[in-house]
Amino acid sequence: MDQNDLGTDIEKVLVTEAQIAHRLTEMASDIDRDYQGRDVLLVGVLKGAVMVMADLARALHSRVRMDWMAVSSYGSGTKSSGVVRILKDLDTDLKDQHVLIVEDIIDSGLTLSWLLSNLRSRGAASVEICTLLRKPEAVKVELDVRYVGFDVPNEFVIGYGLDYAERYRNVPFVATLAPHVYQ
Ligand code: PRP
């Protein structure tokens, strides 16, 4: 898929396919270096992280294991309430594991803040975060994020795993949508 396939839906491309590929290679090499000699468990947070996980994992030289979680915000309907419900839990026992959470985006940071303490409470030896995108202006909680691909403005973005009403996840770049798509 490329921009021609999307007609007038795209307002602005924020991160190109080439930029993503290049940055993921750099991040993978940092991860290889930092985890040298240690067994790593990559934990992907469904569904947005699917693309990052697939490409990051293949850019690594380390022999990692992968597992997946699906979470959803509880109650109020706003995804940034910070109260999270597990829809699909990990299959792996985290005791003494070195866990690297793989995310597509950190918006308010509330999902990851909850996830960090949840995974740490399971007795992991370490839990770190790797995200392709972060919105510094939207962050509501202090989060120690070890690996960040790109900081993006506080706008609604789609592509590379990120959706609008479940669409656009397979767009290979990160972009903002034209207003007519919402209207
Ligand atoms: C997105 C993203 C993060 C979360 C970030 O997931 O993948 O998990 O929101 O938001 P926060 O920093 O404000 O907590 P979403 O709930 O849209 O689900 P999806 O990955 O299935 O699209």
- Domain boundaries of the chain, sorted by first residue: 18-154
How far CA 19 is from CA of 10, 13, 24, 93, 156, in Å, comes to 18, 11, 8, 35, 19
**Whole-number CA gyration radius for the chain:** 16
What is the architecture of the domain spanning 18-154?
Answer: 3-Layer(aba) Sandwich (3.40)
Q: How far is the CA of 37 from the centre of ligand 1 (A)?
A: 31
Query: pLDDT tens, 140-170?
Result: 999 999 999 999 999 999 999 999 999 999 9
- Pocket test of ligand 1: the residue of 73, 107, 134, 171 to mutate, having most ligand atoms within 8 Å of its CB, is 107
Spatial CA neighbour of 109 closest among 89, 126, 134: 134
Q: What is the pLDDT of residue 183?
A: 80
Amino acid at the residue 131: T
Question: Residue 112: which H helix or E strand, with range?
Answer: helix 110-120
Full-prediction pTM beyond 0.75?
yes
Residue nearest to ligand 1 atom 20, measured at CA: 48
The pLDDT of residue 130: 98
Low-confidence ranges of the chain (pLDDT < 70): 74-81
Instruction: Please name the residue that has the structure tokens 């989060």.
Output: 143
Measured in Å, residue 177 CA sits from the centre of ligand 1 at 17
State how far the Cα of 164 lies from the Cα of 16, in Å rounded to an integer. 18
Give the residue, by CA position, lying nearest to ligand 1 atom 21: 47
pLDDT on residue 132 = 98
Burial of 52 by CB count in 10 Å (0-12 exposed, 13-18 middle, 19+ buried)? buried
Buried b (16+ CB within 10 A) or exposed e, 67-100: ebbebebeeeeeeeebebeeeeebeeebeebbbb
58 close to 115: Cβ distance less than 8 angstroms: no
